[in-house]
Amino acid sequence: MDILTIGLGTIGTTYSYLFNKAGHNVEHYIRKSSKKINITELNVDMLDGRNNKKGEHYTDTYKVNTHTKDNYDFIFISMPAGNIESVIETLNSNNIKGTIILCCGIWEDKNYLEKLLGNRPYVLGYPVAGGNLEGETLNACLFDHFMLESKAKTTIDNYDDLVKLFS
């Protein structure tokens, strides 16, 4: 699958690293004004709790690929809810399409989201991970699940692909 992650924040990059390791094409949209625009590779220091409740610690590297397409299977957005509007404007102005996975802790009702997103397909997601990005090192902790809005509450046509992505 082709996945675009908005920015180079901790949560989005943690999942992007894992999607990439699972064999998916992952790219990042990084604003030209971002301090992270020149980062091409990250050191990964991961405590991975997906297979062992105590976690498995490992280190690795992650090549950061910047966006090259205008159509993706999924667009992963994880940022403060107040920044979503500018991200949607950026996607619209660059004509970038794909099913949006909103991992932003949104507490507004669906009417707010529908107005904000227009006719873009989206699903709400709640990551169960954390950490920080220090310089060129991603320090991350990941648990054994990712909460997704139920299929019945979405209108996306690739929900089953999304479930596979997180398995």
Per-residue pLDDT of the chain (167 residues; tens, 9 = 90+): 999 999 999 999 999 999 999 999 999 999 989 999 999 999 999 999 999 888 999 999 999 999 999 999 999 999 876 788 899 999 999 999 999 999 987 767 778 888 988 899 999 999 989 999 999 999 999 998 899 999 999 989 999 999 999 88
**pTM (2 d.p.):** 0.94
How far does CA 96 lie from the centroid of its chain?
Answer: 15
**pLDDT at res. 23:** 97
Q: Are strands 122-126 and 129-134 parallel, antiparallel or unpaired?
A: unpaired
